């Protein structure tokens, strides 16, 4: 069964802290994504990676960075957390194919910055 695992379900961090959100997929997918979900705003793409060490900015990359050193792992980094980054973060993965790919999601990480 396909699986995308996010390391932490709930986190509380202080303003200014460096925060790491980890995501692992076991499907050998080329693509991995980080989305942020806020009420009324839907899912907004933060960063997208199409291969190891390759990344593209999404709609809201400011204040975030990412790391993909291994194919199965995609990390989201908040360099200096702010209260405006309190949100639910969703990691996802998919195959790389022009014929259409299903996106598989993790269960989400609820981050509260105080």
Partner 1 sequence: SQQGEEDPQALSIQEGENATMNCSYKTSINNLQWYRQNSGRGLVHLILIRSNEREKHSGRLRVTLDTSKKSSSLLITASRAADTASYFCATALVYNFNKFYFGSGTKLNVKP
Query: Which residue ranges make up the site for partner 1 (CB under 8 A)?
Result: 4, 30-31, 33, 35, 40-45, 48, 50, 56, 58-59, 88, 90, 92, 94, 96-108
In the complex, what is the shortest distance from the CB of residue 58 to partner 1, in angstroms, rounded to a whole number? 8
> Does residue 31 contact residue 50 with C-beta atoms inside 8 Å?
yes
Q: Which is nearer to partner 1, 48 or 75 (CB)?
A: 48
φ and ψ of 44, to 5 deg = -115, 135
**Residue 65 to residue 93: CA distance in whole angstroms:** 17
Query: 15 is written with which tokens?
Result: 């303003």
Q: Which is nearer to partner 1, 21 or 92 (CB)?
A: 92
């Amino acid at each position: 069964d396909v699986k995308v695992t996010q390391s932490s379900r709930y986190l509380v961090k202080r303003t200014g802290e460096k925060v790491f959100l980890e995501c692992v997929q076991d499907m050998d997918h080329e693509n991995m994504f980080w989305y942020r979900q806020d009420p009324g705003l839907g899912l907004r793409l933060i960063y997208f990676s199409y291969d190891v060490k390759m990344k593209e900015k999404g709609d809201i990359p400011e204040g975030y960075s990412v790391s993909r050193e291994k194919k199965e792992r995609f990390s989201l980094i908040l360099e200096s957390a702010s209260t405006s980054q309190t949100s639910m973060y969703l990691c996802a993965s998919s195959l790389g194919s022009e014929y259409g790919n299903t996106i598989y999601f993790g269960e989400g990480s609820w981050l509260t910055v105080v």
